[in-house]
Chains A and B, each alone.
Chain A
């Protein structure tokens, strides 16, 4: 915020400059000037009216005009598509009149389900963001770019590994238990699994349907909201050829501070083991050798983080051809992305082609197609993502990656006593995992105007994914770093790959969508506007896969199945299918643009539900009242350009229940050998609830949209209450004595109540244009009904926390013990409550609070902690001045609890160096009350015996997500090269982070307890965009 304040004097200076330019010459007879739009682009064919003498003239193609008049005259300038402006003449030449495009934030058209709607007429809670805004960030993943752009849409990138599309997307909180809580995503009206195959460059805009009334048209798939993405198509007018390129570099945002000083590490390791009653891992001679040696090759302080993490290049190239005439428009776009990881062998390549075409066959009929093809090429080691990171974390400083003898052989430990886990380099020197993913989203559509105002649109689409996956592993020999008495580096093992051979899987997913809509729009009389839509849609998906595995390859380079031995080969394959069939409709009515009503309806049948319950109806209704259109308000408070109250109510469903055949009474097939012959069997292994029905989500939404003085202050504020009932999940009350897995049933309900604020300020001081925005979303998640209170354990490490799901609490609340410092001496231990799970307590272990005061710490002493954030927010600044654009974008999360342990937290887990805070750990002479005595591993009972708040962190953060500085080269300079526009820019992602969380990145996945995760990346990119 400080920076913005500093800018103030600069604005004043600019202001003064502009007005001082008004040189005075009062005697001239004609006024000359140029009409431009924001960004200095000329506006052709603008009409200029001198209100003092009544003369008019038209500006030419370059926007230049000349009209008779004198200083002090008032010119009224108008042009189609722009708001008219009155301009007081203060000089006779070089006047610049800037027109504001009519398509302002509140006036533009937004995409809604099966159609579009003028933003001013929206009655639901709908957020949107333009592609241009998204691509200011250099991050290559379209989903991640939505972070912070729409209030209520929480995006959490799970990993910094390139090409791994694991992003948590939650709209208005967690909506269900175990089914999908992610929103429905549609690209050009067709549902897709993820946005990650898209090149962000190809996105025209993104709309988010947040409330039930808007989303009800998507019925059984819309419970968690809907994200509608529209790709770019050609525009009528001049054809353009566009090239843009970005060249960047990325590195880890933040890495932990671990103890890599070998003698310290070795001493602490021995101490930690002694504390667990285990023998020393190093002899004093060994420690002394490291402490006294100056030969850092032989006795290194090897820092594995420094060794492993590097800068990764990101290159993005885009070529676009687009344009059109009155009848036909086209857009052809090619994209290439090369993203190298911040670790070696973590590479991502993406190739996109987008071809869209639209033509008017005759007055009545238009047809078009839109084909988006993507090839993704992903390389990663056989242990990848977070698993790879923990290998780096558990590397000890006593040995380097390669033997000191220069032979290039790999080291896995300094001494035999250290041998345990495979080393990072062993994994990196193995073959790896290779993905080749092809995605095609091909659509064709036709639109027929049957009679005036009655349109029939039909679209057919195939969304095709073809994925090839290979996992190739071979032996990688590992040796001891320190030679034995004979100078020989002892062979340890083949690095414990989990198999030696090739696993290959070919999988496909084909989704066929066909929908057809009739729309009717009419104005009845002067005041009544009516729009009707009715439609039919059917979607079916078929996903086969085939898997094969062979071992026994003659060497480590051959990588085709045929090269392996057929002995003991394994094959698997299966096909999954689902289908959805739907009828839907919408009614829009408005009276004098003042009273707005919208109703949406959908009737869905799903293959995932038993035939008796298969069909279900969803509907939503919303209403808006534009107070600003009321004369009394317009008179009383003319500063309101827009003042709208909105209310909506509707029901939605969730068919993403994680199982295509949940209701079917089926027998598992299995095999059993009798007398050396394998027989096939059928056995019942699960219970089935044939009455399985739909999950039901009701959302009530109240909102207000305010615009003061055409953007000087804008606000969109929403309150909602989202209630989900009949949640589809596995029953948790089924005793094991039934001997079958529990059925999937409609169990439980929960609610999310929340607020969303989207505030903006837009102002212009001469050529200086700036806007500020601030978004905040907060919700309270509460389970309102469960069949039985359920306690589970969060995965990712040993000693993970319990999660409690019970009425009145947030879903899967942390259910853990509270720690209260460190036992300083035996007397304190004796005076404290018994901690039976802490083993034999020693001074330096942690105290756990006996909440119920019964003298023993037990399960009843656990307390709950909310796993959901208090609020998420983003804010930023957009400025432009004479072709210079500067934007800054911040995003943050407040009070996000996570329970984190393992490598990087628990000292010496698989030899992992402890975090450096253990340099200040408790010892009898250093009575710390915050850092326990250095301990061994993640199950040391004195610390980990009770999963406690010792491991609970608040991962609140505020992050400068992006900063962007762009310069549009003035047109004059471009004329020589016949370019229509050239922008050069510098963009930086994740450059600054404010957090109290120690060590690693606070922005991380929330679904597991592992501290060692693949870090996010800082990216700095320079780029240019040129149009011809």
Chain B
């Protein structure tokens, strides 16, 4: 009896112990991919590539928050964005500097470097792999270039750092980083298809970005030559509709858009958590536009409001550049609810509010309605930028010529805008035309997040911020440029974590 019992026990325990085979403790998450058995075939490569692109949706300022960059310039008041008054009142320091300038691009770079470290493990046609690499290197160049625009020299990782300790390195000089940016862009230009933009990066986008880098480096002739290649290539064109550039339906196959962060409702909207550009801009009123920006819009005769006979101070919004009403919610413009009541922003600190990118058919832009629909793509490069960059580069290199006026006129002359050509008499000198090109960029790209970097590039941030007026009843602002040497301080937390990183001079 005893023996039988003990036998039974041993049998039972060994039965139980059967569960104790290794499997019992092996639990794997079902919604993610284990890196161990990835990077085998072309499908893996495509997924990896998609993963790299998907960082665009999730990091600042490549997703819809790009438009908030406007708040760091003389164009707009953006209470939703971190430290915007510190950035525009000269009190930016290592503690309050918006971390997104640093962490955003580096999140993208990490994804790129991870892709580059693994793509060669994949069995696929070399040409395809090179195209993929070209796309990833285009993105990496964009991220590094933005870091340089924000901070100057930054830590440069040409490959994935193997350990946390290896990542703690000093900043390379901005020249070194930009040299790497050019390396990446040259590879991308050689390996990307020379087609219109279709979600993937294309050759024109890489050329345009390289042009922008050359502009930043004030390498005018090279920039002009390269940008001219895009213009002569004829792949891209100015879209007849200005407003259509910023609406989902007309963004597809748009000949003007060269690179953008893409969205697609309902599963890839601006924000999974229920907000996005339309809610934040259209409902909370996150971007308020200053009076001087609005004053920059010409009258339809192509003359500034200070000299145009068409300008009537009593009816200031009549006979104005059509881009004004498309970009801004004007003080006399009402958003009306279906019951006839008029929408008011909870907080309005400026006379004008941003309207660009808002699809007014989605109004009211409350969270439930807008968040699930907002999938407008956020444009990084469009052909108008190429034309105006060309005009700038060529004017800086050799002064005004017909190709310069023609480039500007092409932007002003699109069907929906239809402004008269540049007054070649008034803007006949390099200096005068420089001002006019800057004016045209400001108007054309208002609320697209380009102005902050443009002002820094031109070295006129302080001058322009001081011109910002905020008429009563709005609070006066007294803005002033506070960045030392045109660069931001590294976040203090980054200095703390990476002792090799030296703070930028002046901070």
A residues near B (Cβ < 8 Å) are 277-279, 419-420, 448, 450-451, 456, 458, 473, 490-491, 494, 496-501, 514, 516, 518, 536, 538, 540, 551, 567-570, 574-581, 605-607, 611, 614, 660-661, 664-685, 687, 731-740, 742-743, 788, 836, 859
| Interfacial chain B residues near A576, Cβ < 8 Å | 29
The answer for the CA separation of A419 and B347 in the assembled complex, in Å, is 10
Contact between B164 and A734 (Cβ–Cβ < 8 Å)?
yes
Q: Which of B107-115, B401-409, B479-487 contacts A (4 or more CB under 8 A)?
A: B107-115
The answer for the CA separation of A731 and B163 in the assembled complex, in Å, is 13
Could you pull out 23 A-B pairs where Cβ atoms are within 8 angstroms? A451-B2, A491-B341, A536-B16, A536-B17, A578-B27, A581-B25, A607-B26, A614-B25, A665-B36, A667-B32, A670-B51, A672-B268, A681-B47, A681-B52, A681-B53, A682-B44, A685-B107, A731-B164, A735-B167, A736-B102, A736-B106, A738-B167, A739-B108
What 7 A-B pairs have minimum CB-CB distances, sorted nearest first?
A: A739-B110, A681-B50, A683-B51, A674-B199, A681-B51, A499-B368, A673-B264
- On whether A497 and B167 interact (CB within 8 A), knowing A681-B51, A733-B497, the answer reads no
Smallest Cβ-Cβ distance to B20: which chain A residue = A581
- On whether A788 and B497 interact (CB within 8 A), knowing A611-B22, A666-B32, the answer reads yes
Q: Is B263 an interface residue (CB 8 A)?
A: yes
Contact between B198 and A736 (Cβ–Cβ < 8 Å)?
no
Contact between B252 and A568 (Cβ–Cβ < 8 Å)?
no
| Interfacial chain A residues near B25, Cβ < 8 Å | 579-581, 605-607, 611, 614
The answer for the CA separation of A712 and B473 in the assembled complex, in Å, is 78
| Interfacial chain A residues near B291, Cβ < 8 Å | none
A-B contacts counted at CB < 8 A amount to: 234
The answer for the CA separation of A664 and B36 in the assembled complex, in Å, is 10
Q: Is B126 an interface residue (CB 8 A)?
A: no
| Interfacial chain B residues near A734, Cβ < 8 Å | 164, 167, 497
Contact between A498 and B367 (Cβ–Cβ < 8 Å)?
yes
| Interfacial chain A residues near B369, Cβ < 8 Å | 500, 551
- On whether A736 and B493 interact (CB within 8 A), knowing A675-B199, A684-B111, the answer reads yes
The answer for the CA separation of A607 and B26 in the assembled complex, in Å, is 6
Contact between A279 and B2 (Cβ–Cβ < 8 Å)?
no
Residue of A614, A670, A681, A683 with most partner-chain B CB within 10 A: A683
What mask results when residues 311 to 349 of chain B are scored 1 for a CB within 8 Å of chain A, else 0? 000000000000000000000000000010100101000
Residue of A451, A473, A498, A580 with most partner-chain B CB within 10 A: A498
Contact between A579 and B24 (Cβ–Cβ < 8 Å)?
yes
What mask results when residues 83 to 97 of chain B are scored 1 for a CB within 8 Å of chain A, else 0? 000000001000100
Cross-interface CB contact of B498 among A278, A456, A735, cutoff 8 Å: A735
Contact between B111 and A739 (Cβ–Cβ < 8 Å)?
yes
Shortest CB-to-CB span from B137 to chain A, Å, is 16
Shortest CB-to-CB span from B2 to chain A, Å, is 6
Within 8 A of A (CB), among B481-507: 491, 493-494, 496-498, 501
The answer for the CA separation of A670 and B50 in the assembled complex, in Å, is 8
Contact between B27 and A538 (Cβ–Cβ < 8 Å)?
no
Contact between B368 and A501 (Cβ–Cβ < 8 Å)?
yes
Contact between B31 and A581 (Cβ–Cβ < 8 Å)?
no
Smallest Cβ-Cβ distance to B476: which chain A residue = A277
Contact between A669 and B33 (Cβ–Cβ < 8 Å)?
yes
| Interfacial chain A residues near B33, Cβ < 8 Å | 666-667, 669, 682
| Interfacial chain A residues near B32, Cβ < 8 Å | 661, 666-669
Contact between B264 and A676 (Cβ–Cβ < 8 Å)?
yes
Q: Which of B154-162, B293-301, B439-447 contacts A (4 or more CB under 8 A)?
A: B154-162
The answer for the CA separation of A419 and B341 in the assembled complex, in Å, is 15
| Interfacial chain B residues near A579, Cβ < 8 Å | 24-25, 27
Q: Which of B4-12, B205-213, B224-232, B233-241 contacts A (4 or more CB under 8 A)?
A: B4-12
Contact between A737 and B274 (Cβ–Cβ < 8 Å)?
no
Within 8 A of A (CB), among B104-141: 106-111, 113-114
The answer for the CA separation of A733 and B495 in the assembled complex, in Å, is 10
| Interfacial chain A residues near B167, Cβ < 8 Å | 734-735, 737-738
Q: Is B470 an interface residue (CB 8 A)?
A: no
Residue of B25, B33, B498 with most partner-chain A CB within 10 A: B25
Contact between A538 and B16 (Cβ–Cβ < 8 Å)?
yes
Cross-interface CB contact of A678 among B5, B20, B267, B274, cutoff 8 Å: B267
The answer for the CA separation of A450 and B12 in the assembled complex, in Å, is 14
B residues near A (Cβ < 8 Å) are 2, 5-6, 9, 12-13, 16-17, 19-20, 22, 24-36, 38, 44, 46-58, 91, 95, 99, 102-103, 106-111, 113-114, 154-155, 157, 161, 164, 167-168, 198-200, 252, 262-268, 274, 339, 341, 344, 346, 366-369, 371-373, 473, 475, 491, 493-494, 496-498, 501
The answer for the CA separation of A666 and B372 in the assembled complex, in Å, is 29
The answer for the CA separation of A670 and B47 in the assembled complex, in Å, is 9
Contact between B164 and A664 (Cβ–Cβ < 8 Å)?
no
Cross-interface CB contact of B54 among A450, A491, A498, A672, cutoff 8 Å: A672
Shortest CB-to-CB span from A934 to chain B, Å, is 20
Contact between A735 and B168 (Cβ–Cβ < 8 Å)?
yes
Cross-interface CB contact of A551 among B200, B268, B372, cutoff 8 Å: B372
Residue of A458, A680, A740, A743 with most partner-chain B CB within 10 A: A740
The answer for the CA separation of A497 and B155 in the assembled complex, in Å, is 44
| Interfacial chain A residues near B473, Cβ < 8 Å | 279
Contact between B262 and A568 (Cβ–Cβ < 8 Å)?
no
Smallest Cβ-Cβ distance to B99: which chain A residue = A736
Cross-interface CB contact of B31 among A664, A669, A684, A742, cutoff 8 Å: A669
| Interfacial chain A residues near B19, Cβ < 8 Å | 538, 581
The answer for the CA separation of A497 and B268 in the assembled complex, in Å, is 23
Contact between B368 and A498 (Cβ–Cβ < 8 Å)?
yes
Smallest Cβ-Cβ distance to A790: which chain B residue = B496
Contact between A737 and B262 (Cβ–Cβ < 8 Å)?
no
Contact between A736 and B494 (Cβ–Cβ < 8 Å)?
yes
| Interfacial chain B residues near A743, Cβ < 8 Å | 164
| Interfacial chain A residues near B109, Cβ < 8 Å | 739
The answer for the CA separation of A891 and B467 in the assembled complex, in Å, is 63
The answer for the CA separation of A614 and B369 in the assembled complex, in Å, is 48
- On whether A739 and B107 interact (CB within 8 A), knowing A277-B475, A450-B2, A673-B268, the answer reads yes
Contact between B34 and A664 (Cβ–Cβ < 8 Å)?
yes
| Interfacial chain A residues near B20, Cβ < 8 Å | 538, 581
- On whether A450 and B9 interact (CB within 8 A), knowing A569-B266, A673-B263, A681-B48, the answer reads yes
| Interfacial chain A residues near B252, Cβ < 8 Å | 675-676
Shortest CB-to-CB span from A296 to chain B, Å, is 29
Q: Known pairs A574-B30, A605-B25, A671-B54; list 12 more (Cβ under 8 Å).
A: A499-B367, A551-B369, A568-B265, A576-B29, A671-B50, A683-B55, A733-B164, A735-B164, A735-B494, A736-B106, A737-B498, A740-B110
Contact between A680 and B47 (Cβ–Cβ < 8 Å)?
yes
The answer for the CA separation of A497 and B164 in the assembled complex, in Å, is 44
Contact between A687 and B267 (Cβ–Cβ < 8 Å)?
no
Contact between A739 and B198 (Cβ–Cβ < 8 Å)?
no
Shortest CB-to-CB span from A247 to chain B, Å, is 43
The answer for the CA separation of A611 and B28 in the assembled complex, in Å, is 12
| Interfacial chain B residues near A516, Cβ < 8 Å | 12-13, 16
| Interfacial chain B residues near A498, Cβ < 8 Å | 274, 367-368
The answer for the CA separation of A578 and B91 in the assembled complex, in Å, is 50
Cross-interface CB contact of A491 among B17, B53, B339, B346, cutoff 8 Å: B339
Smallest Cβ-Cβ distance to B34: which chain A residue = A666
The answer for the CA separation of A677 and B267 in the assembled complex, in Å, is 11
Contact between B154 and A450 (Cβ–Cβ < 8 Å)?
no
Smallest Cβ-Cβ distance to A739: which chain B residue = B110
| Interfacial chain A residues near B56, Cβ < 8 Å | 672
Contact between A673 and B199 (Cβ–Cβ < 8 Å)?
yes
Smallest Cβ-Cβ distance to B248: which chain A residue = A676
Smallest Cβ-Cβ distance to B5: which chain A residue = A450
Cross-interface CB contact of A736 among B12, B199, B367, B491, cutoff 8 Å: B491
| Interfacial chain A residues near B17, Cβ < 8 Å | 536
| Interfacial chain A residues near B155, Cβ < 8 Å | 735, 737
Residue of A277, A458, A666 with most partner-chain B CB within 10 A: A666
The answer for the CA separation of A682 and B2 in the assembled complex, in Å, is 60
The answer for the CA separation of A905 and B106 in the assembled complex, in Å, is 40
The answer for the CA separation of A687 and B52 in the assembled complex, in Å, is 16
